[in-house]
Amino acid sequence: MSGPTASDHLVLGAATSYELAEVMPFVRSLRRTGYAGHVALLVDVLRPESRQALQAMGVELITVTEQWRARSRWQGLRRSAARLQLLASWCGTSRAWGEPDPTQRRLRRNRSVVPFHHISSGRYFYYYDYLVRQPVRFDRVMLTDVRDVLFQEDPFAFKPPQPLLFFLEGRGQPIGTEPYNRKWVRQLYGRRVLRSLADQRIVCSGVTIGQGHAILRYLELMCDELAPLTSRMCGRVGRDQGVHNYLIWRNRFPEAALLENGRGPVLTMDIVAFERLRGAPDGALLNDDGSRVAVVHQYDRHTGCAEQLLRQLAGE
């Protein structure tokens, strides 16, 4: 029996509300690595010519409706209305509770809550829906941000130490001192949980890589955790990382490895000091051991190298 091929690999991301110019560097840099696997992106409103350009590069476009943004212009009233609508939605789908198939129960529940989520958390429900409906499971999957991600190498051209891979951010700030991550955990889980996680490193939710079965299990747990928290999220951006870190540091993923920033396939640049970024003579970003970083995430946080990386990896 032959081993997995590039066609068994999937790069899956969310690109709703983006213009073509914001998506093309991601796709172009990925294809320039020689990656020949499948690429699928969640999109909402795209001009026909933008769709054609992406499809010409072998991108499957999954059209979704980010309904939250259209509900109201007033945040307070919108969240109050959303909580009432959410209750009605749960009641309207109560028949799913008697569904014997757990996958179908999860799909019905996900459909009832996803309209109340911003795409940053709603994407997990869409990812799960997409993957369980595939006739053939992918051998390896990368879930990824899009706008701030570039590729220097094929993201699967390395030997994974575990079926599921999470990627640590820089050492500069743990959860308890980084303002956004501290806020997300506190607002979702309360001060007691925040105190228990305060000294833990931040694990980035923007990129997760794993074997197909491990990614599907990750999405099951993420969706199961996100759904009951819907009323606390109601369109807010970024809180998925609070859930991501909560589950990881509660040891819910026994098959997972935490990879150090600068020592694996993904470099997350946000809180990494610019002077610590290692560069090769050709301008490529390097890991601590001198190997080329495969996935460059949050490159736009460092204007000193962002333009160079764009020209080098995704230029015309």
What predicted TM-score, i.e. pTM, was given to this entire model? 0.89
| Helix intervals (H) in the chain | 20-32, 48-56, 75-92, 102-113, 119-132, 179-189, 191-197, 212-226, 230-233, 240-249, 303-314
Q: Quick one: tokens of 316?
A: 């015309």
Q: Quick one: tokens of 197?
A: 């996680």
254-295, pLDDT tens digit by residue?
999 999 988 999 999 876 655 566 777 777 888 888 889 999
Q: What angle do CA 97, 101, 103 make, to 5 degrees?
A: 95
Amino acid at the residue 48: P
CB 202 within 8 A of CB 220: no
191-232, pLDDT tens digit by residue?
999 999 999 999 999 999 999 999 999 999 999 999 989 888
Q: What is the CATH number of the domain that holds 88?
A: 3.90.550.10
Range of the domain at 125: 6-314
Instruction: Indicate whether 257 belongs to any domain.
Output: yes
Instruction: Indicate whether 1 belongs to any domain.
Output: no
Taken in order 74, 76, 80, 85, the sign of the CA dihedral is: positive
Q: Quick one: tokens of 180?
A: 């956004």
Q: How many domains does the chain have?
A: 1
Instruction: Indicate whether 249 belongs to any domain.
Output: yes
Q: At what angle do helices 179-189 and 240-249 cross, to 10 degrees?
A: 80
Element containing residue 163 per DSSP (H, E): none
